[in-house]
């Protein structure tokens, strides 16, 4: 390890540790005052930060980035505002258990290029709400906009009497510093939102981590669905910020019986089906042939940019490019995640075939993330939900806006979507403030009467039967 990098990491961690110690004295009112001040500052700068992120990264649509900043500030704030996060947060007399919330300690927050300012705002708010200092490491192509976000939030936090260094940036762009901070003995948690490599590095660091990587969201349009609505909803989701959200739809799957109708509706609403030659060209620019993963150049680009890069011409007004695919896997590179207005289209002979296609898509890089279904048949919704390896199955909802939460359902608004064991995560939930707490349980004596009235020496007798022991253990209660 370069001594200079180590010294820089030690300096950041020393300051963060001091901030954590000071923060531990704050009561709920003080914390809530700080969080409100930061929310107000971030919310007031939503347009400026969105424009900065768009100009710096060249990704997405600035107006949609404003909406992301609104979700990350206003909606996140409103969702955590009344949540107790300091001291005794619950007491149950019957069980005799009181819960005491304590901070974790310094949190290392990695923010992605796709949602830089919104993810930073979100992570800052949930960290401060839980009295955890935060160190932000942005993607190297979004450092300026994230640094400005942090500056605005820090200024507001300090004005509200937050501890110094409760928000820090790690922005020298070196991978070494990131790794050094991730594995630093003083780091309490890594909140990693980004690519597979980054998430793997977070999990390999030895520090507890909530890492959220890629998705590959299949969307099943069932014959029972309102087809026109389903298509318009997918369009709204897939075009939002040029498809940069990892919960956006990646493949539409339909049965043969409705394929023609869906295809016609899609064409009517601005989806353009690529021919073989066009598909090959788009594939060439969208997928890195060496890794088989999406090419960074394509992420968050408009249809016009994608077409320019691919050297193809499509009708004016095209909103999303569609590739007809027959298989799922490396032989069809566009069957993986592409965070751009490009979507795959599959037709299956029947319900079983479409269900199996969705399983294959789900397991091709999107395990644990998000799946989507349009249906008005509860049985089909239940079957699909049971099949998918997903933290969230969104129903009759644009998956981008649905998965992020709070706009179209009651999921917690979040820019870090837990993917469970499928995505090597500890949780399938939308990560929010309560994931950044140590909950201490104070347990008052409430004896287990069955245990105490039972002759436990009988457990030592191998001749006692399972049924006999259980019957007597539970009798007379």
The span of 159-167, 338-346, 353-361, 458-466 binding other proteins (CB under 8 A) equals 159-167
Binds other proteins (CB under 8 A): choice among 5, 9, 12, 20? 20
Q: Does 155 bind other proteins (CB under 8 A)?
A: no
Complex with other proteins: residue 2 or 161, whichever CB lies closer: 161
Rounded Cα distance, 340 and 298, in Å: 6
Span of 15-23, 62-70, 233-241, 468-476 interacting with other proteins by CB under 8 A: 15-23
Q: Which of 186, 270, 420, 422 binds other proteins (CB under 8 A)?
A: 186
What track of x and - describes contact with other proteins for positions 82 through 111 (by CB under 8 A)? -----------------------x------
Regarding 219 and contact with other proteins (CB under 8 A), the answer is: no
Q: Near other proteins by CB under 8 A, which window of 4-12, 19-27, 256-264, 408-416?
A: 19-27
Which one of the spans 115-123, 163-171, 330-338, 432-440 is the region binding other proteins (CB under 8 A)? 163-171
Q: Which C-beta is closer to other proteins: that of 18 or that of 408?
A: 18
Catalytic residue among 153, 166, 246, 307: 246
CB-nearer residue toward other proteins: 13 or 310: 13
Q: Which of 5, 8, 12, 17 binds other proteins (CB under 8 A)?
A: 17
Least Cβ distance, residue 25 to other proteins (angstroms)? 6
Choose between 168 and 237: whose C-beta lies nearer to other proteins.
Answer: 168
Q: Does the active-site annotation cover 307?
A: no
In the set 6, 10, 22, 97, which binds other proteins (CB under 8 A)? 22
Pick 25 or 291: Cβ nearer other proteins: 25
Q: Which of 3, 25, 466, 467 binds other proteins (CB under 8 A)?
A: 25
Contact stretch for other proteins (CB under 8 A) within 12-20, 347-355, 358-366, 393-401 = 12-20
Question: Is residue 164 a contact point for other proteins (CB under 8 A)?
Answer: yes
Q: Is there binding between residue 165 and other proteins (CB under 8 A)?
A: yes
Catalytic residues: 246
Residues of this chain that bind other proteins (CB under 8 A): 17-22, 24-25, 105, 163-165, 186
């Amino acid at each position: 390890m370069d001594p200079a990098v180590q010294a820089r990491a030690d300096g950041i961690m020393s300051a963060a540790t001091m901030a954590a110690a000071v923060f531990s004295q704050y009561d709920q009112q003080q914390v809530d005052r700080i969080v409100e001040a930061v929310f107000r500052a971030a919310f007031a700068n939503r347009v400026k930060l969105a424009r900065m992120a768009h100009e710096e990264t060249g990704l997405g649509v600035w107006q949609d980035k404003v909406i992301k900043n609104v979700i990350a500030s206003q909606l996140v704030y409103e969702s955590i505002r009344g949540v107790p996060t300091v001291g005794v947060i619950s007491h149950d007399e019957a069980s005799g258990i009181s819960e005491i919330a304590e901070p974790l300690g310094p949190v290392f927050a990695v923010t992605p290029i796709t949602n830089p300012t919104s993810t930073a705002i979100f992570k800052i708010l949930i960290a401060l709400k839980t009295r955890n200092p935060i160190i932000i490491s942005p993607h190297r192509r979004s450092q300026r906009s994230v640094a400005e976000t942090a500056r605005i939030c820090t200024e507001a936090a300090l004005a509200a009497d937050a501890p110094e260094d409760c928000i820090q940036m790690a922005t020298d762009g070196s991978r070494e510093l990131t790794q050094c901070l991730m594995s630093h003995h003083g780091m309490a948690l890594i909140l990693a939102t980004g690519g597979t490599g980054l998430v793997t590095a977070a999990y390999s660091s030895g520090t507890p981590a909530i890492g959220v990587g890629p998705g590959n969201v299949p969307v099943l349009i069932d014959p029972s669905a309102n087809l026109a609505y389903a298509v318009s909803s997918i369009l709204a989701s897939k075009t939002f910020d040029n498809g940069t959200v990892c919960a956006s739809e990646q493949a539409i799957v339909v049965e043969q019986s409705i394929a023609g109708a869906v295809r016609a509706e899609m064409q009517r609403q601005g989806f353009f089906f690529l021919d073989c030659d066009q598909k090959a060209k788009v594939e060439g620019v969208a997928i890195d042939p060496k890794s088989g993963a999406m090419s960074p150049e394509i992420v968050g680009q408009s249809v016009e940019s994608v077409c320019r890069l691919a050297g193809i011409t499509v009708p004016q007004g095209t909103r999303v490019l569609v590739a007809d695919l027959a298989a799922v896997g490396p032989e069809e590179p566009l069957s993986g995640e592409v965070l751009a207005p490009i979507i795959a289209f599959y037709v299956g002979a029947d319900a079983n075939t479409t269900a199996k296609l969705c399983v294959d898509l789900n397991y091709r890089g999107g395990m644990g993330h998000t799946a989507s279904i349009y249906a008005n048949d509860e049985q089909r919704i239940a079957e699909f939900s049971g099949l998918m390896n997903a933290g969230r199955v969104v129903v009759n909802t644009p998956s981008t806006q649905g998965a992020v939460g709070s706009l179209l359902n009651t999921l917690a608004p979040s820019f870090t979507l837990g993917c469970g064991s499928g995505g090597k995560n500890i949780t399938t939930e939308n990560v929010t403030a309560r994931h950044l707490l140590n909950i201490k349980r104070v347990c008052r004596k409430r004896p287990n009467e069955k245990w105490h009235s039972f002759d436990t020496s009988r457990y030592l007798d191998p001749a006692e039967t399972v049924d006999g022991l259980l019957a007597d253990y539970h009798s007379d209660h």
